[in-house]
Structure 1
Amino acid sequence: MSYARVLCVGLVGVTGHVVEVEADLASGLPAVAISGLPDTALHEARDRVRAAIVNSGETWPNRRITLNLLPATLPKYGSAFDVAIAAALLGSAGQLPLLPLEGVVLLGELGLDGAVRPVRGVLPMVAAAARAGVTRAIVPAQNAAEAAVIPGVRVRAVDSLHRLVAFVRDGSPLDEPPPLAGAVAAPGPDLADVAGQAYARRALEVTAAGGHHLALLGPPGTGKTMLAERLPSILPTLDDEAALEVTALHSIAGLLPPGGHLLRRPPFQAPHHTATVPALVGGGPGLARPGAVSLAHRGVLFLDEAPEFSRGALDALRQPLEDGRVQLARARGSAEYPARIQLVLAANPCPCARPVGDTACECSPLARRRYLGRLSGPLRDRIDVQVTVPPLRAAQLMGTGEVSEPSAVVAARVATARAAATERWAAVGHRLNAELPGPVLRRPPFRLPAGDTAELRRRLDNGSLSARGFDRIIRLAWSIADLDGRLRPSRDDVWEAIGLRTGEGA
């Protein structure tokens, strides 16, 4: 026998594709040719696989070897094909009967000693195999718990090529994944830690209820960062679909914590202000990797000291904020990653940033405009809620005023508001107020009475409000109504939404 075929999975972005790994031996000078759009890591696989086969006690076939990865038009990246290539080679040389591997996906990188090493992206790979009808997978031992999350696929773990060969030849059992443990998340920051700032807390609650974007402006030390870090604590836990998406992205990035459970807490990403465009939206050589905006999918992306980010990095967020995804085009192909986030910006009002606020500011009006002007108009127009956070008074800081509500109490109200929105928008295929298309809001039966939107129409006509801003204020009004238990927004809800949007509220 000089031909053999086994199954593997390749990733393009977050999407997996089942790949057939073919091996053919022919007479001629010993050589290895790999076809099927392999990247550099795959070209180097011939050296890794050869050493692994020899060091596992098997014989390397000294013939002309042709390896083909089907479909040949799909770019292949990474070292996850090593185990499949080794099995196909041994099968084509007649050293390994491949019937036990029929319909089995093989994943894993080989070390020179024959050890099977973990690889990134196993969870979306196994999910893709399941969608293609594959019901069995053999994965590296360190990835087994992660792969076992996917229902309908029987996962087995292998730690060396020698054990895989013994399984195929003699039926020696492979390890089963460890039992899935429930996710025990460490308690995060609590809203009860935030002193005062009742209006900013209200803005944070509205933001959480509707899935809106938020900008917090104010001098240092007023609690902007504390508020932003506590937004995930009042968001609902992720459902199965969202948890699978988030876990898959973290698997691709190599950031999945051990344990194999789905990530249920909304993610929180806070890149440093020196972050580059690829670090924010994704990039890198070869296959573009997910950036912070995708790692924050279904959660919060927090940009502290937002004006200090480069203008290019900030403006690169404009398209993901609109579309909820990132399309990264490269010479060798393109990758798409989801990026449905809540963006939170925090900024000082001026370069001097005196802790006592504007009364002691040394900056000229031009310097203040230039500083906040680093946040482009199109980006700020996409921010639903823009709130000024004032300096704290001594009574607020020392806790002699009203007691701040804990996150659990606020989260319960947010969950109720989101449930109301989900039930209302189910007929139009949406769940969050922030996701609603403008035409849906402006047409019956959801169009608000003309008297309630008169101020919005006046501002739209005089140019002080954009059409995008008009729709975003209406969405905010729906979120306010949901929080307060009303079936439809009132005129007062619209006015509160205007204050939250324009920063005129207090």
Structure 2
Amino acid sequence: MDFKGFVYLLQERSEMFCKTTSAVLIGMSSEMITVETDVSGGLPYFDMVGYLSAEVKEAKERVRTAVRNAGFKLEPRRVIVNLSPADVRKSGTMCDLAIAAAVLCAYGFIAQDKLNDVLLIGELSLDGSVRSVNGVLSVVLMARKLGISKCIVPSVNAFEGAAVDDIEVYGIHTLKELIGFLNGSCYVEAAYTDKEALLDQSGKRMPKIDFSDISGQRTMKRGLEIAAAGMHHTMLIGPPGAGKSMAARRLPTILPGMTWDECLEVSEIYSAAGLLKASEGLITSRPFRSPHHTASDVALAGGGRVPKPGEISLAHRGVLFLDELTEFSSAAMEVMRQPIETGKIMINRLQAMCEFPAGFMLVAAINPCRCGYYPDVKKCHCTPLQIRRYIGRISQPLMDRIDLNIEVLPVRIDALQEPSEEESSGEILKRVEKARRIQDERYEGTNYRYNSQLHDRDVEFYCTIGRAERELMRRIYEKYDLSARSYHKILKVARTIADLSGHSTISTEDISEAVFYKCLDGRYWGNNDGKG
């Protein structure tokens, strides 16, 4: 071989191009990223392009150091890494592993065909180990939708990806292990999740609390049973120590278990928020979130420079309990109006526009006044103006969106000293599940799951009432000066009450009970000028 032929061969070996696939997390959704790497002759240089955030730009130092500490020696070359599409801002550390793989492929340590149809995500430590990242479940779901057959993720996150069917997920501990696995010199077993075992264990993770712990308060228990059967938003109003918080915390024990699709849905939210732990596995029991009243509107709705889910989304398919609702800021209370109505939250930021699910059940608890003892005139010393101002912190538009207002009275001494045998959560749950099965049959083939989700245009179709019931609703509408939204909510609650009774039609008794739980006495929201 002459000298020119040798120079040409050297250039051909030193100038290589390689690409692989990764992803970035934007809110809860994932965006596929193509990592392109070009290694050529010239002065030693390493640069990255493609609309990158600071943490992604820093990846070149993590990658170079991790590659060296993993035992791979790279000759000084001009290295350019491009993350496309260029109009999508890349943030986070999810692309580290794909960048390292693309660089090593361009240097000849991996064949390009080994990276075809493979998605890689993971953060690199300087010693070459692969650290966990958020949003793995969302990424694997996106990869399956795009037809990718194999995902390589951090070993800590492998349990998330394994929950997705029809795609192979491999957990990697180190960069060296990744190269060995791709080259066939190291065996890595595909991750596996036992769905049945996870769902069976969900009941064991529930705290050992029960509705039978609550003495008396039959009206409150009945109201919460109705709320659980139709996923109705509920407000508990009563003095301190009456059992409002105690009952709310036991509400998940009478909610039916989640399906596997719901488990994936909720786990995806927690994964995006960085709250999914390998030691706990996927979320298989209905969430119960109880933020402190100092929580801001952003903490409830979600947000940030790169938006993350808030408490409302973390309570998806479960319960959001807001104790002392009147102590929350006005902005925090009003931010719930849109998700209660639409079942989702739209967050607009300069970097991205994100949509988070918000199919939650709101349970709020409030005291009737500042001291908490109104309307007991023996204990309450608040003036009528102070009472109206305190309750008036909750706006009428928000009150309109509450399906049930349950008055919780003080527990009688007889219920404490001579307790009767109280109904257990298991007994209540049987009735709730029966009502849910009726709703499943009714709404099969539609976008509805519960009575509370009915749009106003469909209420008349699914909540049909006779002549006597129509006349009763007309009188109620005029007497309480209801809004159209409140009128429809009464019908939806009445539909749930009928389902609990196993009735196919709504009766006047069902409507009367729904009105009892919706329209509280004028003592709280009326224009009375005195107590009592």
Structure 1 residue 127, shift from structure 2 partner: 1.0
Instruction: Work out the CA distance in 2 between the residues paired with 1:84 and 1:260.
Output: 28
Equivalent residue for 1:194?
Answer: 214
Deviates further, 178-187 or 303-312: 178-187
Residues 190, 459 of structure 1: alpha-carbon distance in 2 compared, 3 angstrom cutoff: same
Residues 179, 243 of structure 1: alpha-carbon distance in 2 compared, 3 angstrom cutoff: closer
2:485 to 468, 472, 485: 468
- Is 1:456 aligned with 2:476? no
Instruction: Work out the CA distance in 1 between the residues paired with 2:152 and 2:376.
Output: 60
Structure 1 residue 281, shift from structure 2 partner: 0.6
TM-score when normalising by structure 2: 0.90
1:113 maps to amino acid: D
1:441 maps to amino acid: V
2:494 maps to amino acid: A
1:479 maps to amino acid: T
C-alpha distance after superposition, 1:429-459 (max 9, x if no partner): 322100011111224x743124203243344
C-alpha contact (below 8 Å) 2:122/2:130 kept by paired residues? yes
Structure 1 residue 481, shift from structure 2 partner: 0.2
Deviates further, 73-82 or 421-430: 421-430
Q: What SS does the corresponding residue of 1:453 show, helix, strand or coil?
A: helix
Equivalent residue for 1:113?
Answer: 127
Instruction: Work out the CA distance in 2 between the residues paired with 1:466 and 1:34.
Output: 58
Q: What SS does the corresponding residue of 2:223 show, helix, strand or coil?
A: helix
Equivalent residue for 1:241?
Answer: 261
C-alpha distance after superposition, 1:72-129 (max 9, x if no partner): 2233221111000000111122232232222111111000111100111111111111
2:443 to 402, 407, 425: 425
Deviates further, 322-331 or 351-360: 351-360
Structure 1 residue 12, shift from structure 2 partner: 2.0
Instruction: Work out the CA distance in 1 between the residues paired with 2:26 and 2:147.
Output: 19
- Is 1:292 aligned with 2:311? yes
2:434 to 397, 410, 416: 416
- Is 1:16 aligned with 2:36? no
- Is 1:225 aligned with 2:225? no
C-alpha contact (below 8 Å) 1:17/1:129 kept by paired residues? no
Structure 1 residue 51, shift from structure 2 partner: 1.1
Equivalent residue for 1:49?
Answer: 63
1:476 maps to amino acid: V
Equivalent residue for 1:182?
Answer: 198
- Is 1:268 aligned with 2:288? yes
Q: What SS does the corresponding residue of 1:264 show, helix, strand or coil?
A: coil
Instruction: Work out the CA distance in 1 between the residues paired with 2:36 and 2:181.
Output: 21
C-alpha contact (below 8 Å) 1:453/1:491 kept by paired residues? no
C-alpha distance after superposition, 1:311-361 (max 9, x if no partner): 101101111111111111000111111011000100111111249945310
- Is 1:257 aligned with 2:277? yes
Identity %: 39
Instruction: Work out the CA distance in 2 between the residues paired with 1:244 and 1:337.
Output: 15
Instruction: Work out the CA distance in 1 between the residues paired with 2:279 and 2:115.
Output: 27
Equivalent residue for 1:312?
Answer: 331
C-alpha contact (below 8 Å) 2:215/2:419 kept by paired residues? no
Structure 1 residue 178, shift from structure 2 partner: 5.9
C-alpha contact (below 8 Å) 1:430/1:436 kept by paired residues? yes
Instruction: Work out the CA distance in 2 between the residues paired with 1:61 and 1:307.
Output: 65
Residues 249, 61 of structure 1: alpha-carbon distance in 2 compared, 3 angstrom cutoff: farther
C-alpha contact (below 8 Å) 2:321/2:363 kept by paired residues? yes
2:391 to 350, 362, 372: 372
Root-mean-square deviation over aligned CA pairs: 2.0
C-alpha contact (below 8 Å) 2:18/2:37 kept by paired residues? yes
Residues 446, 182 of structure 1: alpha-carbon distance in 2 compared, 3 angstrom cutoff: closer
1:213 to 216, 224, 233: 233
Structure 1 residue 70, shift from structure 2 partner: 2.5
User: Which structure has the bigger radius of gyration?
Assistant: 2
Instruction: Work out the CA distance in 1 between the residues paired with 2:480 and 2:137.
Output: 49
C-alpha distance after superposition, 1:221-272 (max 9, x if no partner): 0000011111111111111221111011111112113257442211000000
C-alpha contact (below 8 Å) 2:94/2:122 kept by paired residues? yes
Structure 2, unaligned stretches of length 5 or more?
A: 1-14, 523-532
Q: What SS does the corresponding residue of 1:49 show, helix, strand or coil?
A: helix
Instruction: Work out the CA distance in 2 between the residues paired with 1:61 and 1:492.
Output: 83
Residues 461, 175 of structure 1: alpha-carbon distance in 2 compared, 3 angstrom cutoff: same
C-alpha contact (below 8 Å) 2:463/2:495 kept by paired residues? no
Equivalent residue for 1:348?
Answer: 367
1:201 maps to amino acid: K
Deviates further, 36-45 or 243-252: 36-45
Instruction: Work out the CA distance in 2 between the residues paired with 1:123 and 1:41.
Output: 22
C-alpha contact (below 8 Å) 2:33/2:85 kept by paired residues? yes
